[in-house]
Structure 1
Amino acid sequence: MCGIVGLFLKQESLRPRLGDLLTEMLITMTDRGPDSAGIAIYGDAGTGLKLTVQSDTPAATFDGLDGALEAALGQAVTMRVVDTHAVLTIPEDAEAAARAFMKARGIRVMGCGAAMEIYKETGLPKDVAARFGIRGMAGSHGIGHTRMATESAVTTMGAHPFSTGDDQCLVHNGSLSNHNQMRRVLSAKGFAPETQNDTEVAACYISSRLAEGVNLGTALEGTLQDLDGFFTFVVGTKNGFGVVRDPIACKPAVMAETDDYVAFGSEYRALANLPGIETARVWEPEPATVYFWER
């Protein structure tokens, strides 16, 4: 099962509504996977990188975290706490050191990037979105996922989206059959998955290809050759948004495009309340066909 959604805004005036529109789309997909949910929001890129971290004991973990990290890095750090997550703004050259700092303290890193913030937890989409105030978030594009666990436990780290590269994230409906083989290949390339979720393998694959210098479209085309199983992937990057389905395409998917946006949903009802949907071009993405948009 699982339900996935994505929204790529072309119209600047819609940016303040991104979080609200994505939340409504994801809530509509709740019955496809009610055990956990998550959303990645691409907002304005400022100076530095945004490192999104998570803790099951946020009051204790985040108390003084920014000051301790600032002292460790020797550079300025700011922090914004959002429920069980915190977004730390760090210098662009401090990512590796900041990740090592978090790992040593057992703090989970959800993702990092100039524009991207990721929020995910166990629970229903409506509850997860409310905890993090997703409705009030603005941005240019975003993707979301509501999960029905099949291949790994119901945990925060098992929830989607998965981010395995700066400003890169992926959500997935389906199941990969060669993920253990790909884990070994990707680990040798320096892109080792941290969880048992096969979706993270796909995210690492995309990140490894982008690191090789290919664009998002080429990276998505590579999944058709190198990843086996049934899948629909929706991917976000700093400037892009992409969709691909496996050659059999047994997982449901629908897309819509207007002059204002491109939208994806596991079912049409996820798109039904978008502004201007009545005049949108609506279609089912073809099997083994890559769709992507970049600014």
Structure 2
Amino acid sequence: MCGIAALQLRNPQLRPKMGSLLSTMLCEIVDRGPDSAGLAVYDNPELNTLGKSTLSLLGADLEISSADIDALLAELLPEGATSEVRIVGDTTLVSAEVATEDLAGAVARAYPEAVVAGRGERVTVMKSVGHPVEVAERHGLEGMYGSQAVSHTRMATESAVTAGGSHPFSVANDLCLVHNGSFSNHASVRRELKRLGVEFDSENDTEVGARYVAHRLQQGDDLETALVNLGKVLDGFYTLVVTTADSMAVVRDPIACKPAIIAETDDWVAMASEFRALAELPGIENARIFEPEPGRVYTWSL
């Protein structure tokens, strides 16, 4: 039993309030997963800059030096450009004006123990062990600007309680996936993806789902098609929320065992594991509110 709260703000005037709105939603799902939590926030100008790749690394005590990263990226950085290292809560952010793959390669060479939890130009991923409200407070969620965001509170069932096992899983640029449920055949799907050259960072079943979606997108699927294909390959009981740089999708398994509720207005679309997480959103009294149908993929774009 995990908790999901996701919000996409169509009205730009609401985006300065993203952090406070998501914090309110998160507070109502903490009892669904009290052991760890994760956040992904898109288009926050204090965390991400278009034209710069940003890696979210687990932990705040990695002692990563921008000078070391610059030395490894010297031949790739534009003249006068440098990398930047920042600490946000329990997360280390590394940014530079190079392709994400190049930045990740430089970090891996300089700090092979570093674990990349998020990547891209538009998303920052923050994950940690502990009570979800405390995790959000340490990362300063309340005051964050954003165009869309997703949060997850975890009750571990398939792997240990670690920051790396927390959701969201971000395994491709600006792609995030959160999951309530379990995939029963994740081991066999993992083996097949490895056979195709896909690399994994953990034993978590949710990472298999994220890697599968990323693989299908790389093969040319759009987000909706990738999730339709996921439903044909991965068995289990699940509700998934997947976000990209400019879209959000929700899907439940064909039996719809795991809860989900969606609310939508002209200004925003929100999804949560329980209605009470939506109750304080502005204009909720006029929202279209519904439970997503089993096996159907719902998508929205900014």
Assess same fold via TM > 0.5: yes
User: Which amino acid is 2:55 matched to?
Assistant: L
SS in 1 for 2:225: helix
Long gaps (5+) in structure 1: none
Give ranges in structure 2 of 5+ residues lacking alignment.
none
Residue by residue over 1:196-248, the C-alpha shift from the partner in whole angstroms, topping out at 9 and shown as x without a partner, is: 11011000011001111211111111111111010110011001100000100
Q: Which amino acid aligns with 1:7?
A: L
Equivalent residue, structure 2, for 1:70: 70
- Work out whether 1:53 is the aligned partner of 2:60: no
Query: Structure 1 residue 100: deviation in Å?
Result: 3.0
Cα deviation for residue 262 of structure 1 reads: 0.5
**Whole-angstrom distance in 2 between the partners of 1:56 and 1:43:** 22
- CA deviations on 1:3-33 (whole Å, 9 max, x unpaired) are 0111011100011111221122112100001
Q: Give 2:108's match in structure 1, choosing from 103, 109, 116.
A: 103
Q: CA deviation at 1:69?
A: 0.3
**For residue 50 of structure 1, what is the amino acid of its counterpart?**
T
What is the RMSD of the two structures over their aligned residues, measured on CA atoms? 1.3
Cα distance in 2 between the residues matched to 1:191 and 1:261: 35
> What is residue 40 of structure 2 aligned with on the other side?
40
| 1:40 maps to amino acid | A
Equivalent residue of 1:80, what SS? strand
Q: Is the CA contact (8 Å cut-off) linking 2:60 and 2:92 kept in structure 1?
A: no
Question: C-alpha displacement at 1:164, in angstroms?
Answer: 0.7
Aligned mates of 2:202, 2:42 — CA distance in 1 = 24
1:104-143 matched pairs, under 5 angstroms: 104=109, 105=111, 106-143=113-150
Runs of 4 or more above 4 Å deviation: none
| 1:56, distance to aligned residue in structure 2 (A) | 5.7
- Normalised to the residue count of structure 1, the TM-score between the two structures is 0.95
TM-score, normalized by length of structure 2? 0.93
Aligned mates of 1:278, 1:201 — CA distance in 2: 38
Corresponding residue for residue 31 of structure 2: 31
Match in the other structure for 2:90: 84
8 Å CA contact 1:256, 1:264 repeated in 2: yes
Question: SS at the partner of 1:103?
Answer: helix
Structure 1 partner of 2:210: 203
Q: Give me the whole-angstrom Cα distance separating, in 1, the residues matched to 2:105 and 2:31.
A: 38
- Report the equivalent of 1:275: 282
Give the C-alpha shift of residue 288 in structure 1: 0.6
Q: State the AA in 2 paired with 1:91.
A: E
Q: Of 136, 154, 169, which aligns to 1:147?
A: 154
> In structure 2, how many angstroms separate the alpha carbons of the residues matched to 1:274 and 1:56?
32
Residues in 2 aligned to 1:152 and 1:103: alpha-carbon distance in whole angstroms: 24
Q: Distance in 2 between matches of 1:142 and 1:71?
A: 34
Structure 2 counterpart of 1:251, one-letter code = K
- The DSSP-based 3-state class of the residue aligned with 2:289 is strand
Bigger mean CA deviation after superposition, 74-83 or 197-206? 74-83
Kept in 2, the 8 Å contact 1:3–1:30? The answer is yes
Q: Does the CA contact (< 8 Å) of 2:85 and 2:92 recur in 1?
A: yes
Matching of residue 3 in structure 1 with residue 3 in structure 2: yes
Q: What is the CA distance between 1:98 and its match in structure 2?
A: 2.7
Which of 210, 222, 229 is 1:222 aligned to? 229
Asked if 1 retains the 8 angstrom alpha-carbon contact of 2:6 and 2:149, the reply is: yes
From 270, 273, 297, the equivalent of 1:263 is 270
- Counterpart secondary structure, 1:92: coil
Matched, 1:186 2:190: no
Cα distance between partner residues in 1 of 2:197 and 2:138 = 34
* 8 Å CA contact retained: 2:29, 2:153: yes
* Per-residue CA distance 1:136-175 (angstroms, 9 max, x = gap): 1111101110000111100010000001100001000001
Alignment match of 2:248 (pick from 216, 238, 241): 241
% identical aligned pairs: 46
Letter in 1 for 2:277: A
Q: Match of 2:85, as an amino acid?
A: M
What is the deviation of 1:111? 1.1
Q: Which has the higher helix share?
A: 1
The residue identity in structure 2 corresponding to 1:47 is: G
Work out the CA distance in 1 between the residues paired with 2:136 and 2:301. 26
> Displacement, 1:180?
0.4
Q: CA deviation at 1:83?
A: 2.6
